[in-house]
Structure 1
Amino acid sequence: MADKVSWAIKTLTGKHATCGRLEINPIVGCDWLCRLMQSDIQANPDIPVESLQRICMERYKIQVKKRLFYKVKAIAKELIHGGFGEAYNLFPRYGEMVKQTNPGSYALVTWTQVPAKVQPRNKSCLFSFAAQVRGFLRGCKPIIGIDGAHLSGYYKGTPLTAVGIDGNNEMFSFAYGIVSKESVETWGYFMRNLKCLFEKEGCNRDYWTFLSDRMKGVDAAIMETFSRAN
């Protein structure tokens, strides 16, 4: 038109029925969805992504792919409950609480050595509640089964566990810890603390029978700590 801005449609051929609300919007992102659906996830943390997808369609008339809702759930849970980083920072406090609320328990958290102005990182830990180790020493056979697994979450690592066999021939867990990986150093750390744990309860024996799948570093760590072990 004359103002060089406006347009006038003078002729239209055919039925104009193509305009309407679009259900697929590429602008929709995680932050926007998280703000709108955080209350739904907080009410039911285990809500399936299919349900979130259906709620979004019914409430906002927007079709969102399922893979985006997996990320939305992760972000929402971190906003509600806090992230894993915050939880790991509470490890030393957790260890002190274990010893205060469970007298006789063993809790050790080890941190990396870094310069004064650098935030240290958690290196390894070992926990054993008083009832666990006392139950093992007083009611289980002198057999210790040890094994490691692998964490597959955001923070990697390897949990190490020590179990005994009780009078019913059932497994009796009495110590567990988390290290960076299975090696001579980490298994040595676990075994040395296991010995300290026993000595703390007045048990100085070193002729235990160990069961393992001969992971890397196990044999050397056992012989270094318990010289008469089988």
Structure 2
Amino acid sequence: MTDKVSWAIKTLIGEHRSCGRLEINPRLCMERFRIQVKKRLLFKVKAMCKEIIHGGFGEAYSLLPRYVEMVKETNPGSYALVTWGEPIANEPSRFKACFFSFAAQVRGFLRGCRPIIGIDGAHLSGHFKGILLTAIGIDRNNEIFLISYGVVGSESIDSWGYFLRTLKCLFEKEGCRRDVSAIKLFSLQGVDTTIYETFPRATRRVYCQHLYMKCKTNGFSGSAFHKLFWIAADA
């Protein structure tokens, strides 16, 4: 290459067969049981064993009401809520959403943080999926300060409305009547309308990197767009 030291291989003639994903685990099972088992089967067996020992996701969700009462009893001032859907035919009510905020979180935000909130949703990869919604503040060290979190079925106007209305009730429960001055949106689906209804006087700001990625997903790309987008964001 140009530095007269490095070499670049640009053409390789021949077949390369030694790499690739191995589905067979020959070592442990072959040594102990003299059988060959695919890793995929071992993973399934491991998941079954974990469910037998620690319980499954369905059992965990059924314990949420008991967990809510425990939080309220052992951590006074905390806000814990579980919502169930309407029962269908002979089936019991199913989990719909939940909301949690420990006393130190909401009081720490109201007493020691600026009235600026960031909200976002993250997809859960467990057995029942769903969306984890979070509300965060910024403390005096400019560090992230968690205010509350909840789990809903999907990002929508209804789910964000549930989360933000509960958050506002939480503030009012602590005797706070002032409005949030600004809300930073990390997520865009069904949020803006809900914020206007819940915190009508709050200034809304969108996380630029998230908006930029949304634009790229919808076909806006290229160096010219990238340059102009960030010029507009800085302005």
TM bracket (short chain): 0.7 to 0.9
Residue 90 of structure 1 corresponds to: 63
Aligned in 2, Cα 1:211/1:199: closer, same or farther, shift over 3 Å?
Answer: same
Residue 221 of structure 2 corresponds to: none
Q: Is the 8 A contact 2:119 2:187 kept in 1?
A: no
Residue 172 of structure 2 is aligned to residue 182 of structure 1: no
User: How many Å separate the matches in 2 of 1:214 and 1:67?
Assistant: 35
Q: Is the 8 A contact 2:117 2:180 kept in 1?
A: no
Residue 168 of structure 1 corresponds to: 141
Deviations 1:139-178 (A, max 9, x none): 0011000000111221110000000000000100010001
The equivalent position to 1:153 in structure 2, one of 121, 126, 135, is 126
Unaligned segments of structure 1, at least 5 residues: 1-49
How far apart are 1:115 and its partner, in Å? Answer: 4.7
Larger radius of gyration: 1
Residue 194 of structure 1 corresponds to: 167
SS in 1 for 2:135: strand
Residue 190 of structure 2 is aligned to residue 217 of structure 1: yes
Deviations 1:17-48 (A, max 9, x none): xxxxxxxxxxxxxxxxxxxxxxxxxxxxxxxx
User: How many Å separate the matches in 1 of 2:28 and 2:116?
Assistant: 54
Q: Percent identity?
A: 67
User: How many Å separate the matches in 2 of 1:74 and 1:54?
Assistant: 21
Residue 17 of structure 1 corresponds to: none
Counterpart of 1:194, as a letter, is L
User: How many Å separate the matches in 2 of 1:203 and 1:142?
Assistant: 11
How far apart are 1:208 and its partner, in Å? Answer: 2.6
SS in 2 for 1:227: coil
User: How many Å separate the matches in 2 of 1:125 and 1:205?
Assistant: 25
Number of residue pairs matched by the alignment: 182
Counterpart of 2:82, as a letter, is V
The equivalent position to 1:106 in structure 2, one of 79, 89, 95, is 79
Q: When the two structures are superposed, what TM-score results if normalisation uses the length of structure 1? A: 0.75
Q: Is the 8 A contact 2:120 2:187 kept in 1?
A: no
Counterpart of 2:126, as a letter, is G
How far apart are 1:53 and its partner, in Å? Answer: 5.7
Counterpart of 2:189, as a letter, is K
Unaligned segments of structure 2, at least 5 residues: 1-22, 204-235
Which protein has the bigger strand share?
2
Q: Is the 8 A contact 1:53 1:63 kept in 2?
A: yes
User: How many Å separate the matches in 2 of 1:174 and 1:90?
Assistant: 23
Q: When the two structures are superposed, what TM-score results if normalisation uses the length of structure 2? A: 0.73
How far apart are 1:118 and its partner, in Å? Answer: 2.0
5 Å matches for 1:1-230?
54-115=27-88, 117-230=90-203
User: How many Å separate the matches in 2 of 1:226 and 1:155?
Assistant: 31
